[in-house]
Structure 1
Amino acid sequence: MADLDDIKDGKDFHTDTPQRNTPFTLKGCGALDWGMQSRLSRIFNPETGRTVMFAFDHGYFQGPTTGLERIDINIAPLFPLADVLMCTRGILRSVVPPATNKPVVLRASGANSILTELSNEAVALSIDDAIRLNSCAVAAQVYIGSENEHQSIKNIIQLIDAGIKVGMPTMAVTGVGKDMVRDQRYFSLSTRIAAEMGAQIIKTYYVDKGFERIAAGCPVPTVIAGGKKLPEREALEMCWQAIDQGASGVDNPWPVVQANVKAGAHCVTLQVENSPHLHHMLHWLGEQNAEVSGGTMPVLRGISLCPATPLEHILPVIEDVEIIQILAVNPGYGSKLSRSALLRRISRVVALLNAAGKRDAILLAVDGSLNLEELPEIIASGVDRVVSGSALFRNDALADNISRWLTTIHSAK
């Protein structure tokens, strides 16, 4: 065959470098299959092992309760603020835009209502449908100590067994039996039982006394349920304490976001494709003032552009932003743009801003796995701000790394 003439023997085998197997460090999940680890890596940040889960599945037994009357109006604008969404398949299909591009945990138990015994649940979702909907996990309630304890445990076992066959994680959600109180002893019991049955994630409640025992005794990641509405500062403190004591995530982001703005956060950026109500959200942010020392200041609003986001999306909101942030990687996945592709993208954004007469009014930022060597070219291309995280903490030399970065940035201007 003529096309075989162009095949050449490979040379770059790097025989002096052994293949490196990257460990999967999420708590208790190192022995799971590749597909299950991949889904868990979308739910939990691979670098930190943490997550903010936004649960709005309560309608499956509460109906259109306060705040959930209109998911499209009240809830959808908050999607960009979370790492992962938790909902029912009905709401996912009817309300959540496919372009939201957030990992989803699907509610898989139900068949009850607030008018009857809450613990009387059945499996309400097949694994096939969960796969069809591209979900990253399924979730079911487990009611230890209730009259339907046995059935609720059978429900999660059924989901766990089905999920293992196809690489779908199961999250067990600890409901409270009617004869049990919400204390460390109860949640230690319920979280451990669910983990022993094989659940890969546990969602439970925070308790003031002894939560570190709950987290330590549970061999898989725990996510803290939102619970009752709290003042913003109390909600933040609860989240911090839970994470500090061993939890891997929280599932009520809105109070946290509000509290951060009130506490002084003066810059919020929204991903375009994950913000179905982008214009509304930017206007809401434009009405906020961040508390700072000596007074307040307007919250700076920005949009983040993923590597494949069409740059034309800038134009409809160009009057409503102070920052445009170009992402060099896909959040949650990696897949970094090449240096040449990133520079071309920066050049196109600069040209667009110049054409609109907005170059001096809008800060241009770049974020995503940047390294010191590429900084001079990036700064020279017209970027006003760079965002970096892990590169600055490398080798436990934060101060030295920051100094080198600042020197490079200032010399490139």
Structure 2
Amino acid sequence: MVKIAPSILSADFSKLGEEIRSLDRCGADLIHIDVMDGSFVPNISFGVPIVQSIRKCTRLPFDVHLMIREPSRYVESFAKAGADIITVHFEADSHLDRTLNYIRSLGVKTAVALNPATLVDNLKYLVPYLDMVLIMSVNPGFGGQKYIDYCSRKIREVRDLKDRYNKNLMIEVDGGISKYNIGNVVKNGADVIVAGSAVFKNGRIKDNIEMLREGI
């Protein structure tokens, strides 16, 4: 079954706890938390204290996406704050294998994200040891962007690596996904769909999640 992972970057921050409880009630499968440092990406968002404070609002898995430089410095803090999956960017870590081993040692699932222009082949030797690969289908940093069409080919390339090296690998896609294109994204091989604006728009979380599932 394809999982829906709403990105709380698009939530109403003034009532974040309430928004997360709504996601739980309305059928979300994971909570996607975009952590931005204003350096690796041109925006600043959540830190460890926020993750720790919202952990009590739901039992849904926390999918913590570190869009930050030197992620290895922070993975232990996010693990202790309640992360179930920690995603680090291929482009942000010069010792990625070591960082992934560190994440595993903390009892947390591992994932690697690829920016749109980064080649899938970079993950060939890592796929057997990963729990998830995140394909960014927009340039990271801001919500509400348009899906980049060539990323569909990248999803298929990761699916091929999955078929060859790790049948249990989850393929996650993040950026510009709506009820209109989600079917094709899943057809190409996505197992987990990150959606921000498409989930929170107009405050109709339940209806929006149902429409995404209909699109699947």
| Shift in Å, 1:402 | 1.2
The yes-or-no answer on 1:316 pairing with 2:128 is: no
| Shift in Å, 1:397 | 0.5
1:84 partner amino acid: G
- Tell me the SS of whatever aligns to 2:125: helix
- Structure 1's unaligned 5+ residue stretches are 1-45, 51-79, 86-100, 104-135, 137-222, 227-234, 241-252, 290-298
- Tell me the SS of whatever aligns to 1:372: coil
* Deviation per residue, 1:219-259 (Å, 9 max, x gap): xxxx9xx9xxxxxxxx727x96xxxxxxxxxxxx9897534
The residue aligned with 1:393 is: 200
Question: Distance in 2 between the 1:262 and 1:312 partners?
Answer: 32
2:49 partner amino acid: L
* Deviation per residue, 1:8-35 (Å, 9 max, x gap): xxxxxxxxxxxxxxxxxxxxxxxxxxxx
The residue aligned with 1:264 is: 82
2:133 partner amino acid: I
| Larger Rg over CA atoms | 1
Aligned-residue CA RMSD (Å): 3.5
Q: Against the structure 1 CA distance between its residues 313 and 81, is the aligned structure 2 distance closer, same or farther, given a 3 Å change threshold?
A: farther
* Deviation per residue, 1:304-327 (Å, 9 max, x gap): 111101111111322331101111
| Shift in Å, 1:338 | 3.6
1:395 partner amino acid: N
* Deviation per residue, 1:73-98 (Å, 9 max, x gap): xxxxxxx965135xxxxxxxxxxxxx
* Deviation per residue, 1:347-379 (Å, 9 max, x gap): 22222333x332x12111111121111111111
Q: Against the structure 1 CA distance between its residues 278 and 391, is the aligned structure 2 distance closer, same or farther, given a 3 Å change threshold?
A: same
1:282 partner amino acid: L
The yes-or-no answer on 1:379 pairing with 2:186 is: yes
Q: Residue 81 of structure 1 contacts residue 257 of structure 1 at CA under 8 Å; is this kept in 2?
A: no
Question: Distance in 2 between the 1:388 and 1:337 partners?
Answer: 11
The number of residues matched between the two structures is 167
Q: Against the structure 1 CA distance between its residues 255 and 324, is the aligned structure 2 distance closer, same or farther, given a 3 Å change threshold?
A: closer
The residue aligned with 2:38 is: 84
- Tell me the SS of whatever aligns to 2:100: helix
* Deviation per residue, 1:248-300 (Å, 9 max, x gap): xxxxx9897534422432111111101222111101001012xxxxxxxxx11
Question: Distance in 2 between the 1:287 and 1:84 partners?
Answer: 28
The 5 Å alignment of 1:286-305 reads 286-289=104-107, 299-305=108-114
Question: Distance in 1 between the 2:80 and 2:146 partners?
Answer: 34
1:349 partner amino acid: V
2:173 partner amino acid: V
The yes-or-no answer on 1:357 pairing with 2:165 is: yes
Question: Distance in 2 between the 1:397 and 1:348 partners?
Answer: 34
Q: Residue 49 of structure 2 contacts residue 81 of structure 2 at CA under 8 Å; is this kept in 1?
A: no
Percentage of pairs with the same residue: 27
Q: Against the structure 1 CA distance between its residues 276 and 81, is the aligned structure 2 distance closer, same or farther, given a 3 Å change threshold?
A: farther
Q: Against the structure 1 CA distance between its residues 347 and 256, is the aligned structure 2 distance closer, same or farther, given a 3 Å change threshold?
A: closer
The residue aligned with 2:97 is: 279
Question: Distance in 2 between the 1:319 and 1:357 partners?
Answer: 5
| Shift in Å, 1:386 | 0.6
Question: Distance in 1 between the 2:96 and 2:74 partners?
Answer: 19
Q: Against the structure 1 CA distance between its residues 255 and 384, is the aligned structure 2 distance closer, same or farther, given a 3 Å change threshold?
A: same
Q: Residue 102 of structure 1 contacts residue 274 of structure 1 at CA under 8 Å; is this kept in 2?
A: no
- Tell me the SS of whatever aligns to 1:301: strand
Question: Distance in 1 between the 2:206 and 2:41 partners?
Answer: 35
Runs of 4+ in 1 over 3 A off after TM superposition: 253-260, 333-339
The yes-or-no answer on 1:407 pairing with 2:180 is: no
1:316 partner amino acid: Y
- Structure 2's unaligned 5+ residue stretches are 1-8, 14-33, 54-70
The 5 Å alignment of 1:10-409 reads 82-85=36-39, 101-102=40-41, 236=49, 258-289=76-107, 299-332=108-141, 336-339=146-149, 341-354=150-163, 356-358=164-166, 360-409=167-216
Question: Distance in 1 between the 2:195 and 2:41 partners?
Answer: 23
Question: Distance in 2 between the 1:272 and 1:401 partners?
Answer: 31
Using CA pairs below 8 Å that are at least 6 residues apart, which structure has the higher relative contact order?
Answer: 2
Question: Distance in 2 between the 1:338 and 1:82 partners?
Answer: 21
The residue aligned with 2:21 is: none
TM-score by length of 1: 0.36
1:374 partner amino acid: N
- Tell me the SS of whatever aligns to 2:124: helix
